[in-house]
Structure 1
């Protein structure tokens, strides 16, 4: 049989004795190796292996709790940021729209057209002009008053002096009854200022201006009416939309709930039916022209300069400047005639027309006294309508008719209007 070869452990140890290691020797060698490894581990891991692992586990647990907390706070922060971004986005859209309108306005009259026309039936021109940048430096005192009185940068404004105290009281009494708070009286004399204070009516007294003050204190209706175009300019420069109101007007609803705000000027009409108020094709007949005897004309009755809503735009301010300028130069001109000429006359040789957008108010909501006394009071259905305002512009006996209108619409006295003639006597 072949002899068995022995491995190294079975052979003799050092010294060449050739004898196998004893059990004690093997144990001693193992202890020596263990001690050596222990020293190496103690040097490399002074904090110990288990301590490091437990710390790591604790660190991960704390990190998990922190992440959960941070996730909750992160969601809240994200929601807040989302709301903020949505607001900024809305502001950016508004700015883009305004810049787009300015770009279109800047491109008018130029060879290059910045926009392409859309499909048939979809094209619409600009409806509103951009508002001006408010400039509070022109009148800090008025700016402070308007901040307190106006709502959404809109308010009713009326001019008054002591000559019209009775009508002024009816005017603001009905405004208060309706619940309107954003209104202001421009007091043209000391007596009116004192009167407004005593009645808790918001008022504004302009800084002294000799020319305007003389007209304001002693002027009649037409003279005072002409002042408003100059005075209103500051309101628009401050960035406020104004609903200008004469004081021979009775309020039955809040007019701001019935405005469209899609034009520079939104005015009540002196027209007494749909044709005269909103425009019609009037055929002019000239028999001497034979075959061409009929000429078509477009007609509309004038806007009433005693009640109109005007937005703070460049065309609106230009309108006020034009009217005020002409009234200062043309002593015999009537402010309402000039107001309408500047609104409607087109550009022609020697004259550049005003580029301004306008809207006619509903004649049964914003009712003049001709509509009321000639038509509405005689019609059973129209009598049921509740107007926003009634303007006693067609009749000189204003105070008596104003009282009767209040009796009819506020107190329900059905025969309150019957004894008045259609027109004036």
Structure 2
């Protein structure tokens, strides 16, 4: 029995081993078949062929469309419309970029022009710390501009011969002031001033100056300027000087602008400070009016606050002032010339408004340094005929110039000034009233 049992166990073991071998073989065959199907059918054995619609869409994207349908046409039209809108938006964007660039450029130029004088100074000199108490002083003299000879080459050659240390006297004249002009340049020659120039506004004055060996300059033809220069009165001609002076400053020259109703008794260049953009004579007739004063305004209705303090100064005379070639000076000329071209205004009033009015809401004031000339050295005719001629001490002083600006009878008073100060005739001024007859 034991033998039969062992035989049965051996048969069972043999059949079990055979069964395991078959299983392993079947698994290996399955794996091999799987690899073959994976290689032959990468998209799966049950992968469906694309439908006609998706196939057509695929073919249309490849450029080989085989048939059309309404849905596809609508999609194509929509695509074209979107493309057109995209092009339009791109063009608009390019235009906006161009406008932004232009505005940015304008803003850059505006920033460059703002406070240009201060920027020029900072470029020329390094910044400094404030010193001890009582020793600190702010800037008073703006730097001069770099000369631009391309502005007027013809004038450059003339100024190189006439100017002394880049300075000269300039006067504008037409035939209406011919007699006063003769008194003007006769006394300039008498005190040995050589750096002066007459800007002739017509042919007659040009020929008159040439015949008297007076340096003269006639501008290139300019219809608008020429009409005013040839036929205009004193105020119209005065308005031209702000436009004409600009070229002198651009060329780097300091100019002592002079009306022709002025008698020169000394060389004015020996009495200038040159520490400001504009150095002008005053229309004031005493220390208060010429140099400024605190004027108290009384308004009783305000009770406790009835007194209001105001600062006042009489205007600068736009017929005699020294102007340095600086950015603020040129800006002043531009402002005045622009306003006079648009307004029916007096040039002296506009000159002072632009020079003195401070910045305030809606207005940016001119940042220019200014100095008032000594009223007894640079004397107006009110000071002379109201005060000086009646004062024994003051009438012995010899002024640099006398400007007959307060009186319409200019020529006889100019001649009387020459008689009094040059020829020593003590009663030469007595016949004239303090004011005018009208």
Q: Specify the TM-score bucket, using the shorter chain as the normaliser.
A: 0.7 to 0.9
| SS at 1:222 equivalent | helix
Query: Aligned ranges for residues 262-341 of structure 1 at < 5 Å?
Result: 262-330=275-343, 332-341=344-353
User: Does 2:205 correspond to 1:188?
Assistant: no
Cα distance per residue 1:380-423 (max 9 Å; x no partner)? 00010000000000000000101111100000000000011000
Separation in structure 2 between the aligned mates of residue 104 and residue 245 of structure 1, nearest angstrom = 30
Cα distance per residue 1:335-381 (max 9 Å; x no partner)? 00000000000000000000000000000000000000000000000
Query: How far does residue 117 in structure 1 lie from its aligned partner after superposition?
Result: 1.6
Unaligned runs of 5+ in 1: 1-98, 108-112
**Conserved 8 A contact 1:171-1:249:** yes
User: Does 2:270 correspond to 1:257?
Assistant: yes
Q: Which residue in the other structure is 2:413 paired with?
A: 401
**Conserved 8 A contact 1:102-1:130:** no
Task: Say which one has the larger Rg.
Answer: 2
Query: How far does residue 130 in structure 1 lie from its aligned partner after superposition?
Result: 0.5
Q: Which residue in the other structure is 1:383 paired with?
A: 395
Aligned residues: CA RMSD: 1.6
Match of 1:201 among 214, 226, 232: 214
Q: Which residue in the other structure is 2:119 paired with?
A: 102
User: Does 2:251 correspond to 1:238?
Assistant: yes
**Conserved 8 A contact 1:342-1:353:** yes
**Conserved 8 A contact 1:272-1:371:** yes
User: Does 2:362 correspond to 1:350?
Assistant: yes
**Conserved 8 A contact 1:104-1:114:** no
| SS at 1:375 equivalent | helix
Distance 1:100 1:177, change over 3 A: closer
Match of 1:131 among 124, 144, 166: 144
| SS at 2:296 equivalent | strand
| SS at 1:118 equivalent | coil
Separation in structure 1 between the aligned mates of residue 409 and residue 283 of structure 2, nearest angstrom = 18
Unaligned runs of 5+ in 2: 1-115
**Conserved 8 A contact 2:117-2:142:** no
Query: How far does residue 114 in structure 1 lie from its aligned partner after superposition?
Result: 4.8
**Conserved 8 A contact 1:101-1:126:** no
**Conserved 8 A contact 1:184-1:204:** yes
Separation in structure 1 between the aligned mates of residue 312 and residue 359 of structure 2, nearest angstrom = 17
Cα distance per residue 1:65-103 (max 9 Å; x no partner)? xxxxxxxxxxxxxxxxxxxxxxxxxxxxxxxxxx99636
Q: Which residue in the other structure is 1:359 paired with?
A: 371
**Conserved 8 A contact 2:198-2:215:** yes
Name the TM-score, length of structure 1 as normaliser: 0.74
Q: Which residue in the other structure is 1:119 paired with?
A: 132
Separation in structure 1 between the aligned mates of residue 398 and residue 117 of structure 2, nearest angstrom = 40
Query: How far does residue 116 in structure 1 lie from its aligned partner after superposition?
Result: 2.4
Separation in structure 2 between the aligned mates of residue 419 and residue 163 of structure 1, nearest angstrom = 26
Separation in structure 2 between the aligned mates of residue 214 and residue 356 of structure 1, nearest angstrom = 32
**Conserved 8 A contact 1:408-1:416:** yes
Distance 1:344 1:403, change over 3 A: same
Distance 1:180 1:377, change over 3 A: same
Name the TM-score, length of structure 2 as normaliser: 0.72
Separation in structure 2 between the aligned mates of residue 342 and residue 323 of structure 1, nearest angstrom = 7
Cα distance per residue 1:160-190 (max 9 Å; x no partner)? 0011100000000000001000000000000
Aligned length: 321
| SS at 2:274 equivalent | coil
